[in-house]
């Protein structure tokens, strides 16, 4: 096949760069005519220092991302470093399909929504579920991948809108040391180190790696908010490049914060108060730990089959004592703002979550007749437990216009509200086959069956005016659900660097998937104990193109996700039914990588059209957009090497207006645009100086939401970093 064209003056060199390394090469049939031909397919390495990722470390995905029939947005380590990301939330702001929910007493830490559906229980590290309620720091992340759309054959329960996969830094046979030292406005001080050392004398190739982090920072114009983290992640790999490989890893992170619960809603909109107003107390605190050990064993039985086993034990702790602001019950729209009071809903939470997981996979590659097969067959076991104790502190107040953060924490009454103990067991078996017919066509068929069982014990304690400390209700329940999940996809590659695909996938959400959340819609409580899991499905049509020798990736997709039996209130107070229907339709466009050797880009746009398509009295209205599903999101970032030693960059984010709650009272935060900038000077081969400035225009906007409060985004701030690498 050939393409003949008569390019305009100066376009030939640009076309040559765009087509470099792709399926097309540029030549001349005659003077003034350009001709392209299709060369043999070549395997291309992942570009270094780029925002493009051409492969996935997710353990159940064997194919490169170019041939994966799913929307996958990758936030590379290079992109996180250039933007100066110090929290997983910062990294997720590079993903246009994500909006962020604020945490609360029943849930702490990162709480993303993907395509309008909560993914706070869909966080994974190296392919294994991470149930911890903590703010994840990217110091040990090689990259972050967001896989979009229901796909329980890969992940088990959840994944209605998608999942967040964090790929850890693993030992390699290359020796290196890198370190970063940062300081900035708002009392920012941060240090990280990444040390990798090959090990001789063990009789087989081995290496050890250590990542360290210490961080303390405030938030611009959120005066009392501060975060203090420490983390370490050592790992050891034995048999690198050998038929048998073993990796040991330990991850530990602790955090001591004064958390941010923002400002109250004022009759459907954020209260018009100064950004630095803080409604809690100086004694507010959030303390978390995450402690997990992982063993990965791989053995190549033959050239065509590999057996892999992953085991992990994790323990997470959290303690919170914090006040969340809401308008006082006696405030009406006619109440003068100067007289408006704020009720502080204060809870104390003490909780430990524990988890043991094992995944056993057989990865096979073989041929039957004209069809090549890539097969992943496996079994997964997951045990989880949670034992939160909730205490209520009543009678705490503040004022809307003149909050006093120095007032003494003095509740009129403290009492134990609820004690929950939840244990879940999941056994899942799965099979996925990628069938390849020549170089152009692939079909993917997958099935999984999960048995999800739960033991739930809830003790509700007396509340005023009854005597405190008395158990007034006990709810003990056992439930078991067995559900299948399906995945099918068809992929067409007209040229080696271009892909078109259609995919279909399903997932499910059991009532106990969030373990302990004390919400009538999302936990295994009296309201939901007799309900079967919610079921979800998605359809997606997409295309992926690799240009510039694999350095630039262009993706686009059209999708529809349906929750076909959503939990909604029934006509019996205190109980829910599976009588709702929710739908999200949209499209997404992404461009990531290098346009030239000097020019890096990451741009993504996401459009969502969401609504409730079936409801009942007391539920959300028909057609109303889903919470946390803005019509449009745009994330963009670019860097340019203007001189051999100087790089500049900039970008920002547009987030459309979105709802925190669609039942009465309806709550909506306005859209916003923010801009950031970066400059880097390479002093020599080992040292770089970098400066990042955030929210250049000092925009007052609302970043994270909750139905009870809304959290303003940070004001203008700066971070200065010294990077060392050897």
Percent of the chain surpassing pLDDT 70: 89
Distance CA 286, CA 281 (A): 12
Closest to 418 (Cα-Cα) out of 475, 466, 465: 475
Closest to 540 (Cα-Cα) out of 557, 563, 554: 557
User: Strand pairing partners for 437?
Assistant: 371, 441
Distance CA 320, CA 324 (A): 12
* C-alpha triplet 374, 308, 480: angle, nearest 5°: 90
pLDDT at residue 41 above 50? no
- Residue 669 in any domain: the answer is yes
Quote the pLDDT of residue 512. 76
Quote the pLDDT of residue 465. 63
Buried b (16+ CB within 10 A) or exposed e, 4-36: eeeeeeeeeeeeebbbbbbbbebeeeeeeebeb
Q: Are 89 and 145 part of one and the same domain?
A: yes
Count of Cβ atoms closer than 10 Å to residue 120 Cβ = 21
Quote the pLDDT of residue 643. 96
The answer to whether 190 touches 217, Cβ cutoff 8 Å, is yes
Q: Are 296 and 215 part of one and the same domain?
A: yes
Distance CA 480, CA 452 (A): 6
Quote the pLDDT of residue 48. 52
- Residue 56 in any domain: the answer is no
The answer to whether 592 touches 546, Cβ cutoff 8 Å, is no
Closest to 310 (Cα-Cα) out of 276, 357, 347, 375: 357
Distance CA 349, CA 154 (A): 33
What domain count does the chain have?
2
- Residue 44 in any domain: the answer is no
522-528 mean pLDDT:
54
pLDDT at residue 16 above 80? no
> In whole angstroms, how far apart are CA 710 and each of 132, 305, 630?
23, 52, 16
* C-alpha triplet 584, 588, 589: angle, nearest 5°: 175
Q: Are 100 and 229 part of one and the same domain?
A: yes
Distance CA 449, CA 85 (A): 38
**Higher confidence at residue 152 or residue 176?**
176
Count of Cβ atoms closer than 10 Å to residue 199 Cβ = 16
Q: Residue 521 is part of which domain span?
A: 65-647+655-725
pLDDT at residue 35 above 60? no
Distance CA 193, CA 209 (A): 10
The sheet carrying 263-266 orders its strands as: 269-270, 263-266, 709-712, 702-705
**Higher confidence at residue 655 or residue 569?**
655
528-535 mean pLDDT:
80
Quote the pLDDT of residue 59. 58
**CA 631 to the chain's CA centroid:** 19
- Residue 301 in any domain: the answer is yes
Lowest mean pLDDT among 181-185, 347-351, 374-378, 523-527: 523-527
Residues 6+ apart with CB under 8 A from 461: 415, 416, 417, 418, 419, 468, 469, 470, 471, 472
Buried b (16+ CB within 10 A) or exposed e, 593-605: bbbeeeebbbbbb
- Residue 59 in any domain: the answer is no
Q: How large is the greatest C-alpha to C-alpha distance in the chain, in angstroms? A: 95
- Judged by DSSP in three states, 15 sits in helix
Distance CA 567, CA 589 (A): 31
Quote the pLDDT of residue 468. 63
Q: Are 721 and 598 part of one and the same domain?
A: yes
Task: With 0.75 as the threshold, say if the pTM is over it.
Answer: yes
The answer to whether 110 touches 121, Cβ cutoff 8 Å, is no
| pLDDT tier, 525 (very low <50, low <70, confident <90, very high otherwise) | low
Q: Are 10 and 72 part of one and the same domain?
A: no
Quote the pLDDT of residue 38. 32
For residue range 255-272, what is the model confidence (pLDDT) as tens digits?
A: 999 999 999 999 999 999
- Residue 298 in any domain: the answer is yes
Distance CA 23, CA 493 (A): 11
Alpha-carbon Rg for the chain in angstroms: 26
Distance CA 85, CA 192 (A): 12
628-636 mean pLDDT:
95
E-state strands within 462-598: 471-495, 498-509, 534-547, 552-569, 576-596
Quote the pLDDT of residue 620. 78
DSSP annotation string for 164-233: EEEEEP---SS-EEEEEEEEETTTEEEEEEEEEEEE-SSSS-EEEEEEEEEEEEEETTEEEEEEEEEEEE
Residue 483, token pair as written in the block? 């559900």
Phi-psi region of 695 (alpha: psi -120 to 50; beta: other; left: phi over 0): left
Q: Are 318 and 441 part of one and the same domain?
A: yes
pLDDT at residue 2 above 60? no
The answer to whether 496 touches 471, Cβ cutoff 8 Å, is no
The kind and range of the H/E element at 83 are: helix 77-83
Q: Are 508 and 401 part of one and the same domain?
A: yes
Average pLDDT of every residue of the chain: 88
- Residue 558 in any domain: the answer is yes
Quote the pLDDT of residue 33. 33
319-348 mean pLDDT:
93
Quote the pLDDT of residue 22. 39
> In whole angstroms, how far apart are CA 450 and each of 160, 558, 720?
16, 29, 49
Quote the pLDDT of residue 54. 63
For residue range 576-600, what is the model confidence (pLDDT) as tens digits?
A: 888 889 999 999 999 999 999 999 9
Give the DSSP letter of residue 20: T
Closest to 139 (Cα-Cα) out of 236, 211, 74, 89: 211
5-25 mean pLDDT:
40
Q: Are 97 and 32 part of one and the same domain?
A: no
- Residue 613 in any domain: the answer is yes
Give 638-653 as a 3 state SS string: EEEEEECCEEEEEEEE
Q: Are 27 and 172 part of one and the same domain?
A: no
Q: Are 20 and 105 part of one and the same domain?
A: no
Look up the CATH number of the domain holding residue 525: 2.40.170.20
Distance CA 536, CA 508 (A): 6
Residue 118, token pair as written in the block? 């909560």
Quote the pLDDT of residue 105. 77
| pLDDT tier, 60 (very low <50, low <70, confident <90, very high otherwise) | low
Quote the pLDDT of residue 511. 79
> In whole angstroms, how far apart are CA 293 and each of 247, 318, 423?
11, 19, 20
Residue 77, token pair as written in the block? 């380590």
pLDDT at residue 47 above 60? no
The total number of residues written for the chain in this structure: 726
Lowest mean pLDDT among 383-392, 511-520, 583-592: 511-520
| pLDDT tier, 365 (very low <50, low <70, confident <90, very high otherwise) | very high
Q: Are 24 and 114 part of one and the same domain?
A: no
356-374 mean pLDDT:
95
Q: Are 71 and 14 part of one and the same domain?
A: no
Residues 6+ apart with CB under 8 A from 661: 627, 667, 707
For residue range 118-144, what is the model confidence (pLDDT) as tens digits?
A: 998 899 999 999 999 999 999 999 999
Distance CA 390, CA 412 (A): 17
| pLDDT tier, 542 (very low <50, low <70, confident <90, very high otherwise) | very high
- The listed range with the strongest mean pLDDT (3-17, 618-632, 694-708) is 694-708
Quote the pLDDT of residue 157. 87
pLDDT at residue 93 above 50? yes
User: Strand pairing partners for 675?
Assistant: 652
Distance CA 483, CA 470 (A): 39
For residue range 192-251, what is the model confidence (pLDDT) as tens digits?
A: 999 999 999 888 999 999 999 999 999 999 989 999 999 999 999 999 999 999 999 999
- The listed range with the strongest mean pLDDT (59-73, 148-162, 683-697) is 683-697
């Amino acid at each position: 096949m050939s393409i003949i064209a008569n390019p305009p003056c100066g376009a030939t060199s640009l076309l040559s760069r765009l087509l470099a390394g792709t399926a097309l090469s540029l030549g001349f049939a005659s003077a003034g005519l350009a001709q392209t031909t299709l060369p043999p397919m070549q395997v291309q390495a992942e570009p270094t220092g780029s925002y493009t990722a051409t492969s996935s470390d997710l353990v159940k995905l064997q194919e490169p991302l170019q041939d994966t029939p799913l929307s996958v947005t990758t936030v590379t380590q290079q992109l996180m470093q250039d933007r100066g990301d110090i929290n997983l939330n910062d990294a997720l702001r590079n993903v246009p399909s994500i909006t962020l929910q604020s945490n609360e007493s029943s849930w702490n830490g990162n709480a993303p929504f993907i395509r309008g559906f909560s993914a706070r229980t869909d966080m994974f590290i190296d392919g294994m579920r991470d149930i911890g309620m903590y703010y994840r720091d990217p110091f040990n992340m090689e990259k972050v991948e967001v896989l979009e759309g229901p796909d329980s054959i890969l992940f088990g329960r959840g994944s209605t809108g998608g999942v967040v996969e964090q790929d850890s830094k693993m030992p390699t046979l290359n020796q290196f040391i890198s370190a970063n030292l940062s300081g900035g406005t708002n009392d920012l001080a941060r240090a990280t180190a990444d040390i990798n050392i090959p090990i001789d004398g063990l009789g087989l190739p081995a290496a050890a790696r250590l990542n360290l982090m210490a961080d303390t920072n405030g938030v611009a114009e959120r005066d009392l908010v501060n975060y203090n983290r420490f983390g370490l992640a050592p790992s050891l790999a034995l048999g690198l490049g050998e038929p048998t490989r073993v990796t040991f890893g330990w991850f530990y992170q602790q955090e001591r914060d004064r958390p941010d619960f923002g400002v109250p809603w004022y009759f459907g909109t954020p209260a018009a108060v100064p950004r630095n107003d803080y409604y809690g107390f100086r004694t507010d605190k959030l303390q978390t730990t995450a402690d997990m050990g992982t063993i990965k064993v791989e053995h190549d039985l033959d050239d065509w089959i590999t057996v892999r086993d992953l085991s992990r034990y994790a323990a997470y702790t959290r303690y919170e004592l914090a006040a969340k602001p809401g308008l006082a019950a006696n405030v009406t729209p006619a109440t003068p703002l100067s007289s408006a009071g704020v009720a502080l809903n204060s809870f104390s939470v003490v909780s430990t979550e524990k988890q043991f997981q094992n995944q056993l996979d057989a990865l096979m590659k073989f041929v039957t007749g004209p069809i090549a097969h890539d097969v992943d067959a496996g079994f997964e076991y997951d045990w989880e437990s949670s034992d939160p104790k909730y205490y209520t502190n009543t009678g705490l107040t503040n004022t809307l216009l003149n909050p006093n953060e120095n007032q003494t924490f003095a509740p009129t009454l403290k009492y134990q509200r609820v004690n929950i103990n939840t244990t879940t067991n999941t056994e899942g078996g799965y099979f996925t086959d990628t069938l390849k017919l020549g170089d152009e066509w692939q079909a993917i068929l997958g099935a999984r069956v999960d048995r999800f069982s739960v033991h739930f014990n809830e003790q509700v304690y007396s509340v005023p005016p009854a005597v405190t400390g008395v158990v007034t209700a006990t709810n003990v329940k056992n439930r078991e659900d067995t559900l299948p999940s399906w995945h099918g996809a068809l992929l067409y590659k007209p040229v080696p660097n271009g892909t078109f695909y259609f995919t279909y996938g399903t997932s499910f959400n059991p009532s106990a998937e969030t373990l302990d959340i004390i919400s009538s819609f999302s936990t295994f409580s009296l309201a939901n104990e007799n309900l079967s899991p919610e079921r979800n499905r998605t359809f997606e049509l997409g295309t992926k193109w690799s240009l510039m020798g694999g350095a630039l990736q262009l993706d686009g997709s059209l999708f529809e996700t349906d929750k076909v039996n959503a939990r909604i209130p029934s006509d019996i107070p205190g109980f829910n039914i599976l009588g709702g229907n929710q739908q999200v339709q949209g499209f997404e466009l992404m461009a990531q990588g290098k346009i030239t050797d000097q020019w890096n880009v990451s741009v993504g746009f996401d459009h969502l059209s969401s609504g409730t398509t079936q409801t009942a009295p007391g539920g959300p209205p028909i057609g109303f957009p889903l919470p946390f599903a803005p019509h449009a999101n745009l994330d963009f970032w670019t860097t340019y090497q203007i001189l051999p030693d100087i790089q500049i960059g900039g970008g920002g984010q547009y987030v459309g207006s979105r709802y925190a709650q669609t039942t009465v009272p309806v709550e909506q935060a306005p859209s916003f645009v923010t801009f950031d900038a970066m400059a880097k000077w390479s002093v020599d081969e080992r040292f770089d100086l970098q400066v990042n400035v955030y929210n250049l225009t000092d925009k007052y906007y609302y970043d994270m939401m909750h139905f009870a409060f809304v959290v303003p985004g940070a004001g203008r701030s700066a971070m200065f970093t010294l990077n060392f690498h050897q």
